[in-house]
Chains A and B, each alone.
Chain A
Amino acid sequence: MRRIGIWIAVGGLLLGTAACGGGSGSGTGGSGAPKSASLSVGFVAEPANLDFTSTEGAAIPQALLVNVYEGLVKLSQDGEIQPLLAEKWDVSDDRTTYTFTLRKGVTFSDGAPFTADDVVFSLGRVKTDWKLKIKSQFDVVDKVEKKDDSTVVVTLKQPSNGFLYAMATRLGAMFSRTGVSDLANKPVGTGPYVLGAWRRGDSIRLEANARYWGTKPAVPSVTLKYFKDATAMNNALLTGGIDVISAVQAPESLQQFSDPNRFQVIEGTTNGEVVLSMNNARPPFSDKKARQAVRYAIDHKALLDTAWAGRGQLIGSMVPPTDPWYEDRTGDYPYDPAKAKELLGGKTYTVKMRIPNLPYAVASAQVVKSQLAQVGITADIEPLEFPARWLDVVFKQGDYDLSIINHIEPRDMGIFADKSYYFHYDNPQFGKLLASADSGTEQQQTDDLKQAAKLLSDDAAADWLFLFPNLIVAKKGVTGLPKNAIAESFDFTGLAKQ
């Protein structure tokens, strides 16, 4: 009987949590936030190591890029490319030669000066030493040459609009020629922060870089605290353990932070399109009509309201509103179950909906299932462990009919051009538009990509459920938080605390 006693205690605990949920009175906080030289920010995924040149994963550049490592250019909150370590750059008329003029008086945190040689070294390393898939974005680079100590010339094989954008990502990060021996543990960059301490499994502390060339950060010590559980992170903010939640995982829980005297909720955008992917390679969704039926059958507004507390934005194609070629495509397939039934021709289908076991996917899947049932499509939900199982079954083997995943990579419409990618979308016209967009002028690029996004939507290559919101909660008085999560980094440089 002792064992049963324990089980009941567990049951009681679950109940107990439920019961005391009602009154969330707090004893701390409220009376004048203390002036402090440090801030701590809660995150969910901890980096495996600190080397983003050889280890995949968003957590490393999130912590280090812009903060510890800087590139020649950076991405602004509005999606514009701005100068950083380069004062300016000139593009030749044929758009294959980029001449960067470097900022003077910049030093690395190990004391070495930053010169054109470091640029040649860092950009060269991408091709020779990097082990990431995304390094293929630099395939277009023909050669990188030093003109003088503060001028670098990059020559491309053909014109590419993607190149400068790639320079603003981790690919363009500048490394010291003497500072790459232990990237996994000792990052050396030119940024406003240096690594202070890393307590594995718990936190990373960044300290102000005394040698920084620009404006010194207002908060000299920032701690990135890692939580495995969203509720634990929420509680840490409620009890004062952290100052900022970098990304809220459960939007319904925002109500606990509704007191404006204590907290501020910041909602911005991300590059994450929550895609209802349809397997274009096998029936029933090899048929465009069936795919279109799915798009008509889903009430996207209702889905967002129920599954994600109405936070986020409806998009309708693979472009977030912060990209220059964004157009509102939500009107392409208005909610119309009658039309969906008509497109299906009265037939009914049973399909496999294999989703990652992530909160947004499980929540959205239940709404999708309920709505598809109204038009005669039975979708059997099967949550797969993420990442390993989902990547293997859905992404690699393509054994699925429907799936739901947040495609977080920036400017990732190109994945639809690859026939072998798990959507198996196949329309040569789309590939042509993308190719001409990359090599054309900026205006051509915008026009072509608008057309490409429209084509995707018309073909119903997938359905776009919503744009994942960036939800930050911070204590009142914390300013300078990056509202939109559209770059790879969580930019601490503007942070301040009153």
Chain B
Amino acid sequence: MTGRMNASLLTGGALVGVVVLAALASFVWTPHDPTLVDAARKLHEPGGGYLLGADKFGRDTFSQLMVGARTTLYVGVVAVGIAALLGTPLGVIAGMTPRGWLSELIMRVNDLVFAFPALLLAVMLGAVYGADTLTAMIAIGVSTVPAFARVARAATLQVMVTDYVLAARAAGRGPGAIATRHVLPNIGSVLIVQASVSFAIAILAEAALSFLGFGTRPPTPSWGRMLQESQELLFSTPRLALWPGLAIAVAVLGFNLLGDGLRDFLDPKLRRIRAER
């Protein structure tokens, strides 16, 4: 697991770092209470203690962005966690028994879930159980399971035909041991890249859901809902939409670049191919 730093990795890491830092800082300090309504500060211009101004409720935009970063990362971590924890074992099982009925079943169910849009699932869950961050996370997570399962399966298939796996089999190792000792460590890098990319998708999905009113409940700040609340003020106070929009773009770009960079960083083969070109 060695490699060289590259531009994507550094840029992505820096962007993600900013978001993570903002989220962590928000636990101990924000310039103002992000949910405190203050009519006197309605649409306060940027400046005077309000770095990016205030919204129509007089809430500080900067503080909201900071806490919004927390919401975003929280959703991303849990959703990707669900996807990885469910998708990886399924993919590995399917990959280790490529011609079995179990593999077929897993991959066909996978296709079924894959065809189901995450947003629709979230709206359905929200309608039945009441929309909040949890239903959004579950919906996004479940919809991302197939991506992990497919990636894990493909990588497992490659690992399963290597000499060391054949040797382990010949030595009488059981499938459980092969999976944990040989397969997982060797597909880890692929999964990390997938996680980073899925994270970006989860962030956008959460923003979209909150925008539609099916995500994080008010008044907990969320970038998507900040966008939605700024909608009616687009013509008079466009900055209210600009900042959360920018934050979403930065986070998504950051995780995508990070994913790209990690792939190059973790995959020596790919680096060599590029060098040969």
Binding partners A and B: yes
CB of B39 within 8 A of CB of A302, answer yes
Query: Beyond A11-B252, A362-B218, is A19–B238 a contact (Cβ under 8 Å)?
Result: yes
- B248's partner among A11, A19, A21 (CB-CB below 8 A) is A11
A1-53 contacts to B, CB under 8 A, are 1, 3-4, 7-8, 10-12, 14-15, 17-19, 21-22, 24
A255 to B58, CA, bound (A): 18
Q: Using Cβ atoms and an 8 Å threshold, which residues of chain A touch B238?
A: 18-19, 21-22
A22 to B234, CA, bound (A): 7
CB of A256 within 8 A of CB of B235, answer yes
Give the nearest-CB partner of B55 in chain A.
Answer: A306
CB of A8 within 8 A of CB of B245, answer no
A120 to B271, CA, bound (A): 90
As a 0/1 sequence over residues 100 to 140 of chain A, the CB contacts with chain B under 8 angstroms (1 = contact) are 00000000000000000000000000000000000000000
Give the nearest-CB partner of B127 in chain A.
Answer: A385
Query: Beyond A17-B241, A367-B57, is A253–B246 a contact (Cβ under 8 Å)?
Result: no
CB of A381 within 8 A of CB of B241, answer no
Query: Beyond A18-B242, A381-B218, A383-B213, is A11–B57 a contact (Cβ under 8 Å)?
Result: no
CB of A382 within 8 A of CB of B130, answer yes
Query: Beyond A10-B208, A306-B37, is A382–B217 a contact (Cβ under 8 Å)?
Result: yes
B100-138 contacts to A, CB under 8 A, are 126-127, 130-132
Q: Using Cβ atoms and an 8 Å threshold, which residues of chain A touch B266?
A: none
CB of A381 within 8 A of CB of B219, answer yes
In the complex, how many angstroms separate the beta carbon of A84 from the nearest chain B beta carbon? Answer: 38
A389 interface hit (Cβ, 8 Å): yes
B56 interface hit (Cβ, 8 Å): yes
Q: Using Cβ atoms and an 8 Å threshold, which residues of chain B touch A384?
A: 130
CB of B57 within 8 A of CB of A366, answer yes
Q: Using Cβ atoms and an 8 Å threshold, which residues of chain A touch B245?
A: 11, 14-15, 18
A10 to B204, CA, bound (A): 9
In the complex, how many angstroms separate the beta carbon of B168 from the nearest chain A beta carbon? Answer: 34
A158 interface hit (Cβ, 8 Å): no
CB of A3 within 8 A of CB of B242, answer no
- A18's partner among B130, B132, B208, B234 (CB-CB below 8 A) is B234
CB of B37 within 8 A of CB of A371, answer yes
User: Contacting chain A: which of B20-28, B78-86, B89-97, B224-232?
Assistant: B224-232
CB of A305 within 8 A of CB of B127, answer no
A369 to B219, CA, bound (A): 8
- B201's partner among A3, A15, A367 (CB-CB below 8 A) is A3
Give the nearest-CB partner of B219 in chain A.
Answer: A366
- A4's partner among B201, B227, B242, B249 (CB-CB below 8 A) is B201
As a 0/1 sequence over residues 42 to 76 of chain B, the CB contacts with chain A under 8 angstroms (1 = contact) are 10000000000000111000000000000000000
Interface size on A, residues (CB 8 A): 48
A7 to B56, CA, bound (A): 29
Query: Beyond A10-B208, A306-B58, is A370–B36 a contact (Cβ under 8 Å)?
Result: yes
A363-385 contacts to B, CB under 8 A, are 363, 365-367, 369-371, 380-385
A451 to B175, CA, bound (A): 82
Q: Using Cβ atoms and an 8 Å threshold, which residues of chain A touch B242?
A: 15, 18-19
* Highest count of chain B CB atoms <10 Å: which of A10, A14, A19, A305: A14
B200 interface hit (Cβ, 8 Å): yes
Q: Using Cβ atoms and an 8 Å threshold, which residues of chain A touch B132?
A: 382
A178 interface hit (Cβ, 8 Å): no
In the complex, how many angstroms separate the beta carbon of B258 from the nearest chain A beta carbon? Answer: 12
A250 interface hit (Cβ, 8 Å): yes
B35 interface hit (Cβ, 8 Å): yes
A7 to B200, CA, bound (A): 9
CB of A21 within 8 A of CB of B241, answer yes
- A362's partner among B204, B213, B253 (CB-CB below 8 A) is B213
Q: Using Cβ atoms and an 8 Å threshold, which residues of chain B touch A302?
A: 37, 39
A427 interface hit (Cβ, 8 Å): no
Q: Which 3 A-B pairs have the closest CB atoms?
A: A18-B241, A302-B39, A250-B232
Jot down 28 A-B pairs with beta carbons below 8 A, ordered by A: A7-B200, A7-B201, A11-B204, A14-B248, A15-B245, A17-B241, A18-B227, A18-B234, A18-B241, A21-B235, A251-B232, A252-B56, A252-B232, A253-B234, A253-B235, A299-B39, A301-B39, A302-B37, A305-B42, A307-B57, A369-B219, A370-B37, A371-B37, A380-B217, A382-B130, A383-B131, A389-B127, A389-B130
Which B residues contact A (CB, under 8 angstroms)?
A: 35-37, 39, 42, 56-58, 126-127, 130-132, 197, 200-201, 204, 207-208, 211, 213, 217-219, 227, 230-236, 238, 241-242, 245-246, 248-249, 252-253, 256
